[in-house]
């Protein structure tokens, strides 16, 4: 079974802190994604990575950055956390090829609260 793990299930941070969310997948997937999930808005793509050190901005990249130094690990960074970044963050991965045709495997999510 594909497993996608996220470093924390719940996280509470203060405004202005630098926050790291870690995601690890064990299926040697090329594609990895970071989404933000908010009630009534569904999932919105923050960043996508199709290979080590490669990344593409999604729909809402502002205030976020990412790092992919190893194939299995994709990190989301909030450089200076703000209260409007309080949300559920979901990491996903998929196998190579046309991303649209691939099932995404999701981690359990990190619920981040910024106070």
Partner 1 sequence: AQSVTQPDIHITVSEGASLELRCNYSYGATPYLFWYVQSPGQGLQLLLKYFSGDTLVQGIKGFEAEFKRSQSSFNLRKPSVHWSDAAEYFCAVGPTSGTYKYIFGTGTRLKVLA
Q: What is the DSSP string of 42-88?
A: EEEEEEEEEETTEEEE-S--TTEEEEEEETTEEEEEESS--GGG-EE
Task: Report the residue number, 16 or 96, with the smaller CB distance to partner 1.
Answer: 96
Task: Report the residue number, 12 or 14, with the smaller CB distance to partner 1.
Answer: 12
Task: Report the residue number, 10 or 84, with the smaller CB distance to partner 1.
Answer: 10
Summarize as ranges the residues that interact with partner 1 (CB under 8 A).
4, 9, 31, 40-45, 48, 50, 56, 58-59, 90, 92, 98-109
- State the virtual CA torsion across 71, 76, 79, 80 in degrees, nearest 10: -170
| Smallest separation, CB 93 to partner 1 (Å) | 11
C-alpha–C-alpha distance, residues 58 and 47, integer Å: 5
| Smallest separation, CB 41 to partner 1 (Å) | 6
| Smallest separation, CB 48 to partner 1 (Å) | 5
Q: Are the CB atoms for 51 and 31 separated by under 8 Å? A: no
């Amino acid at each position: 079974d594909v497993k996608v793990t996220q470093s924390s299930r719940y996280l509470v941070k203060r405004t202005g802190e630098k926050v790291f969310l870690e995601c690890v997948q064990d299926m040697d997937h090329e594609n990895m994604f970071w989404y933000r999930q908010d009630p009534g808005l569904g999932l919105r793509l923050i960043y996508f990575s199709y290979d080590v050190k490669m990344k593409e901005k999604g729909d809402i990249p502002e205030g976020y950055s990412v790092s992919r130094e190893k194939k299995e690990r994709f990190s989301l960074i909030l450089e200076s956390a703000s209260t409007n970044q309080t949300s559920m963050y979901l990491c996903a991965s998929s196998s190579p090829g046309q991303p649209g045709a691939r099932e995404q495997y999701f981690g359990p999510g990190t619920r981040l609260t910024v106070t």
